[in-house]
Amino acid sequence: MNQERPYDVEVPERRWDYDLLGAAYRVAASDASPLRVVAGPGTGKTFALMRRIARRLQEGADPARILAVTFTRTAARDLAKELGLLRAVGADQVKAGTLHSRCFSILSSADVLPLTGRTPRPLLAFEERFLLFDLKDQFGGLRNCRRFLEAFNAAWARLQSEEPGWPHEDEDRRFHQALLGWLQFHGAMLVGELVPETLRFLRDNPEAPYRHAFDHVLTDEYQDLNRAEQELINLLAEDAELTIAGDEDQSIYSFKFAHPDGIREFVAAADEPLDECRRCPVIVIDMANALIANNPDRANRQLRPAAGQPQGDVQIVQWTSMAAEAAGVADFIKQRIDARRVEAGEVLVLCPRRQLGYAIRDALREREVAAHSFFQEEALEGDPAELDECQAQRAFTLLCLAANPRDRVALRSWCGFGSPSLRTGAWQRLRDHCQAAGQEPWDALAALDEGALNLPHATSLVAPFRDLRVLLGELEGVGGQALLDTVFPPDQAWADDIRRLAEKLGVEGLNALGQRDVLRNALTQPELPTDVEYVRVMSLHKAKGLTADLVVVTGCVEGLIPTIDYDLPEDDRELLLREQRRLFYVALTRTRLSLILSSVARLPVETAHRMGARIRPWGGTLASRFIRQLGPNAPQAVPGRDLRA
């Protein structure tokens, strides 16, 4: 079944059951609700869900009352594309997107914001550090404050046998009040608050139209949702036909408090399993089954190859060093492309750490192979207390202030950059004054700068604010490429990552507000391109939902794959190990034809420590334990020089 038909306006709408057989037909045709679809990788889950939507559309369902919830924006786009290929009338009106985007839409509605008293302005990771610094003295220091924040973010998921809710311990409650006060004053929300805040609003307002907006709700990757998200789905579907789809073997987001037990324990009216893999070659399916069987807490399910699947090409190699791996992998990919065995856009290079990815990306470019890396969440990394380490953060903050000088989070960040204390005390005095006087922080700082306000112990804010006014004056009326080049200069290495991201997103034609919104959205909810003409280099987590003819998994050494925190209690380490095994399983099953698993025998000691790899004193590494769990059909590891192109 070829789903990749060219777009042709003459092609009529096809019936939902066109060329549909077996389990996929049963998923699309079932009237059961709730329906659970347990689907392994490459088994046609998206295809079956798309046909289920097409069926409802052809039966006369209102497309605006169909909600398709996906885990990523990329998956939402793919679902819409599949519906378009089927020519389903009304498909473009189906509400397909992430749960976070649905929450943002609800909270941004004019009639909801006054009720919540919140502003859905997301806080970026580097901006959270200013929040923590401002609260740390009240809660026993930075480390303790970070622990409270993590507990707050996890509050809805950590007590998974109970209804999710806010913290109830006295100390947690006190932190919640201080945190909420900071966020409300600064007009911001944590990214993790979008779902709980929406859930609270909908629970408190049972007659809100948003609770009754849909007749059909379909949720993909259910295993990656946390308890709050699963509860929210239940509310949105309380008057609707509900379909959930997912796979416990692909649950890889515990750091986002995913609740994989949710799909195992889900009480469904009917189950429709999908276990025939039409993506991966036979040898990869065998290896994936052998690997995941080592997880004791799973249903005993096996992927089966569809009829006609190729045997496949798998090689396991080890290189002497990172440099040798980067050069060898780049040579291998170039040779395959030059021999027309694969196109650049059908190559995925998956790396557990960006240092490995950057090395391979650069080696490919040196060989004139188009390659892009997707580690944009690290584009704004750095210590804001050190000016030399936070230049990208300052530049992005300047862009935010050029878009909106009254952005209090951005103003707070700008005034704190470069100070060991992030000027916490001075900012607290300014905040106290603004809250007492009902004055905007920008106006108070302008008054301080002009001598119209005397605010003891806050004068350290004047110099950075004065610099800011000068820079904003220079940016006034500047937009497009000129704005991008001014804020993120092309000759500065620290700006490279954000400039590459901006180039991919095509922001050069936008003003400051447009550039800020597009970049911030990409940083908080990245969308990965699928139809490309270059090699994609990214983390294993980001590869979820992507496929390629050739997949190269690098860094297959202990401490990287798997990554284990040995400071955790033994039971928690075991749970983490199982999830890391699921992550490797996801990585293996991205390929349609060829798979390379690559490790290095030695890492520079400093680099190894920075990446968290386990090494011997001289830098020697051990190949990942997962390699020996791939079963008897996996090939033997060979030196990198024996890699066959």
Residues of the chain above pLDDT 70, percent: 94
Element holding 362 (H helix, E strand): helix 354-366
Nearest to 30 by CA among 57, 9, 58, 51: 51
Per residue in 258-289, pLDDT (tens digit) is 777 788 888 899 999 999 999 999 999 999 99
Judged by average pLDDT, the poorest of 145-149, 393-397, 429-433, 550-554 is: 145-149
DSSP state of 65: G
Position 339 pLDDT exceeds 80: yes
**What residue spans in the chain does CATH classification 1.10.486 cover?**
387-524
* pLDDT at res. 359: 95
Pick the CATH number of 22-105+199-274 from 3.40.50.720, 2.40.50.660, 3.20.110.10, 3.40.50.300: 3.40.50.300
In this prediction, residues 617-632 reach a mean pLDDT of 89
Can you give the pLDDT at residue 73?
Answer: 74
DSSP at 562: S
Residue 6 binned pLDDT confidence (cut-offs 50, 70, 90): very low
pLDDT in tens, 458-491: 999 999 999 999 999 999 999 999 999 999 999 9
The reported pLDDT for the residue numbered 331 is 98
pLDDT of 200 over the 80 cut: yes
Q: Helices then strands (H, E): number in the chain?
A: 24, 15
Confidence category of residue 64, pLDDT binned at 50, 70, 90: very high
Using a 10 angstrom Cβ sphere, with 0-12 exposed, 13-18 middle and 19 or more buried, the burial of residue 108 is exposed
- Per-residue b/e over 185-221, b at no fewer than 16 CB within 10 Å? bbebbbbbbbbbbbbebbeeeeebebbebbbbbbbbb
Between residues 627 and 564, the one the model is more confident about: 627
CATH number for 282-370+533-642 (one of 1.10.645.10, 3.40.50.300, 2.102.10.10, 3.20.20.60): it is 3.40.50.300
How large a percentage of the chain has pLDDT more than 90? 61
Q: What is the pTM of this model?
A: 0.84
Fold of 387-524: PCRA; domain 4 (1.10.486)
**In this predicted structure, what is the pLDDT of residue 565?**
81
Each residue of 287-296: pLDDT tens digit?
999 999 999 9
517 or 568: which leads in pLDDT? 517
Summarize pLDDT for 106-145 with one digit per residue, the tens: 988 867 877 777 888 889 989 999 999 999 999 989 988 8
Q: What is the pLDDT of residues 387-400, one digit of tens each?
A: 999 999 999 999 99
Question: Measured between alpha carbons, how far is 369 from 372 in angstroms, rounded to an integer?
Answer: 10
Which region among 66-75, 427-436, 453-462, 613-622 has the lowest average model confidence (pLDDT)? 613-622
Question: Considering the chain, what is the average pLDDT of its residues?
Answer: 89
Residue with tokens 């919540």: 116
How high is the pLDDT of residue 29? 95
pLDDT at 163: 54
Residue 159 has pLDDT above 90, yes or no: no
Q: Tell me what pLDDT residue 378 has.
A: 67
Beta carbons within 8 Å of 524's beta carbon, 6+ residues apart? 122, 124, 191
Count other C-beta atoms under 10 Å from residue 452's C-beta. Answer: 10
Judge whether residue 82 has pLDDT over 80: no
Cα three-residue angle 192-433-118, rounded to 5 degrees: 25
In this predicted structure, what is the pLDDT of residue 158? Answer: 47
Is the pLDDT confidence value at 612 over 90?
Answer: no
Confidence of residue 328 (pLDDT cuts 50, 70, 90): very high
pLDDT at 638: 97
Q: Of 577, 548, 71, nearest to 333 (Cα)? A: 548
